[in-house]
Structure 1
Amino acid sequence: MSNILIIKHGSLGDIAQASGAIQDIYENHKKDQIHLLTTKPYFELFKKNPFIHNVILDKRLSKFNLIYLYQLTRILKNFNFEKIYDLQNSSRTTFYKNILFTKAKSDKWSSSETTLPIDILKIEFDRKPVLNRFDHQLKTSGTKTEHTMKPNFNWAVTNINNIKQEFNLDKYIVLFPFCSAHLTHKKWPHYNELIGLIKIKYGDQIKVVVAPGPSEIDDAKNINAVSILDKGKALDISQLASLINESSFVIANDTGPAHMTAHLGVKGIALFGKHTTAFKVSIERENFKAIQVDDLEKLSAGKVLEKILI
């Protein structure tokens, strides 16, 4: 039995996307122990993943913090990993490779860099859809893929019956009108108008809710929808996954919850401006689609309403 390491620091949407790759790594190493290196926001979540035996916390302190780097390196080297799958593919994880396995090839350290096709530059390779990149990385490293192209995030769900009872949730639509403060170009500005149209069309047949993150609770007061919280606090990731999973439909900006919805197999749509494409981020699935426009400001609430399928 060997020790296998997967590195996946975040973000939320990326973790949902990587679920299939993680499952394929497990399936290819049935006799081995699968360890995963991640950051604090996702440490407890990954403990629920049935394809991971052990989760290791990376505090991601400064690269110049030599004491921390020494401690982390010592922890990782003690496992004597047979193979490392870098699913983060960041400058930081490349830095880790240069500390741990400077000359390692794809048979030892699997990353988009060590598996890069010989006829393409990395900047060009990174323009390909994210799931295709994962698929190429694993196959080039000798790992058979069955689930990479069709991630399943259902391992993350939990029981939220108490929350559904508290807010009297039966048939409901979830909106995700928020985004990070530095990514306001992803934000569609017409959610309240859409809510009005939904109420006209469906009346009391369906409830419209939002699930704000910790920094979005105050902003949620400006949205004309029921704000779903757990004892006044934001839902954790598993609760959020369950709220999405049991919903009738989801409408979201291009954020983590949109990717969660896509890979939970739930019906919904993501609203994209020109910042990227739905194709590149591999978000469209059988039940989850995207509306792509050059200017989100000009995307009307009526146009979005037409895409709601309940």
Structure 2
Amino acid sequence: MPHSADKQERILVIKLSALGDFIQALGPMKAIRDTHKDAHITLLTTKPYVPLGKECGYFDAVWVDERPKAWQVRRTLKLRQQLKGGNFDRVYDLQTSDRSSSYFKLMGSKVKWSGIAKGCSHPHANPQRDFMHTLDRQAEQLEMAGIYKTPMPDLSWAKADLARFDLDTYVALLVPGGAPHRPDKRWPAKKYAELAHALLERNIQPVMLGTAKEGEVLDEILDLCPDVKDLSSQTDFLEIATLARYAHVAIGNDTGPMHLISLAGCKSIVLYSQASDPQLCGQRGSDVTILRENSLNDVSVERVISAVESTD
């Protein structure tokens, strides 16, 4: 698929959501940029990931996909006009969803397309693709499109000023949230509070991250351990990456921020139940420990502390 031409190539990379998937796509994004050094490359993403798309340095432009519904005809036509008006020579669809594949139809079959859209020029033709880890799947997709070297995601460019947080020397990031409709992927708040007390006894300041959607869980932890430093709803993705490089360790559920934290280089302990399979979606990084039980209720605080201390 890589090709040299007299005119500047125009390339579209599609990655819409979610956080963990976007972070894991940074390696493939860099591979695309390294392969097409002189091309004009546009990222199509959703609003939350625009800052990451702009800061990483892999793209010449970042477009926001408002993800129009099927009945929103005007918005769909506007998106079609934008995609066709981009005059793209090729597309790397790193989302590979029904939605992103439908954009192949909006753009027309002449564009060279890497993905799973029916009839595309460079399909990821592995019937077992859904049983591969995200990083391995995307690397193989690019290989089938002619890009043979995909690096691990690199977040060294993600920097932010942490002065306003007034952090202690040794901090442990706690990520106790996750999708509200997936409570089986959340370690109990009571155990996070017990862990926070154990960390404080070891002179490690627990610092909690999260969003308003996780408020009930975060409030319960704070009620049980008021000495937790609460940074929930105060950090953007660039600040989380910088916090990860600063922190001594991070402990969290299988959720997007833990992909960001682990790939930023933080020593990470990730808690899994049978609700998700780390072989398919597990966090990767320089120092990642995954603790898994059928039920997260069966993961003891002592086991987590042991993993924390083994990272020393």
For normalisation by structure 1, the TM-score amounts to 0.89
Cα shift readout 1:30-64 (whole Å, capped 9, x = no counterpart): 01011000111112331111111100011112122
Contact residue 48 and residue 156 of structure 1 kept, 8 A: yes
Contact residue 20 and residue 255 of structure 2 kept, 8 A: yes
Task: After TM superposition, give the deviation of residue 103 of structure 1 in Å.
Answer: 6.9
Percent of aligned positions with the same letter in both sequences?
A: 28
Q: Secondary structure at the match of 2:172?
A: strand
Task: After TM superposition, give the deviation of residue 282 of structure 1 in Å.
Answer: 4.3
Q: Which residue of 2 aligns with 1:252?
A: 252
Aligned amino acid, residue 237 of structure 2? I
Task: After TM superposition, give the deviation of residue 102 of structure 1 in Å.
Answer: 4.0
Correspondence for 2:204 among 203, 206, 210: 206
Greater mean deviation of Cα atoms: 128-137 or 63-72: 63-72
2:303 is equivalent to residue 303 of structure 1 = yes
Q: Secondary structure at the match of 1:180?
A: coil
Q: Secondary structure at the match of 2:52?
A: helix
2:24 is equivalent to residue 17 of structure 1 = yes
Measured in 2, the distance between the counterparts of 1:289 and 1:101 equals 45
Measured in 2, the distance between the counterparts of 1:146 and 1:90 equals 21
Cα shift readout 1:229-280 (whole Å, capped 9, x = no counterpart): 5xxx531111122222211100010001110122112111110111122121
Paired residues for 1:27-66 under 5 Å: 27-66=34-73
Contact residue 252 and residue 270 of structure 1 kept, 8 A: yes
Task: After TM superposition, give the deviation of residue 198 of structure 1 in Å.
Answer: 2.2
Q: Secondary structure at the match of 1:291?
A: strand
Aligned amino acid, residue 124 of structure 2? L
Return the structure number with greater relative CO, CA threshold 8 A, min gap 6: 1
Q: Which residue of 1 aligns with 2:124?
A: 116
2:139 is equivalent to residue 135 of structure 1 = yes
Contact residue 113 and residue 123 of structure 2 kept, 8 A: no
Contact residue 5 and residue 35 of structure 1 kept, 8 A: yes
Task: After TM superposition, give the deviation of residue 217 of structure 1 in Å.
Answer: 4.3
Aligned amino acid, residue 280 of structure 2? K
Q: Which residue of 2 aligns with 1:157?
A: 159
Q: Which residue of 2 aligns with 1:197?
A: 198
Unaligned runs of 5+ in 1: none
Measured in 2, the distance between the counterparts of 1:95 and 1:33 equals 23
Query: How many residue pairs were aligned?
Result: 292
Greater mean deviation of Cα atoms: 237-246 or 30-39: 237-246
Measured in 2, the distance between the counterparts of 1:103 and 1:35 equals 18
Greater mean deviation of Cα atoms: 213-222 or 44-53: 213-222
Correspondence for 1:99 among 91, 106, 109: 106
Q: Which residue of 2 aligns with 1:185?
A: 184
Aligned amino acid, residue 245 of structure 1? R
Q: Which residue of 1 aligns with 2:12?
A: 5
2:229 is equivalent to residue 226 of structure 1 = yes
Aligned amino acid, residue 174 of structure 1? L
Task: After TM superposition, give the deviation of residue 80 of structure 1 in Å.
Answer: 0.8
Unaligned runs of 5+ in 2: 1-7
Task: After TM superposition, give the deviation of residue 97 of structure 1 in Å.
Answer: 1.1
* Alpha-carbon spacing, 1:116–1:32, altered in 2? closer, same or farther (3 Å): closer
Contact residue 5 and residue 37 of structure 1 kept, 8 A: yes
Measured in 1, the distance between the counterparts of 2:243 and 2:266 equals 11
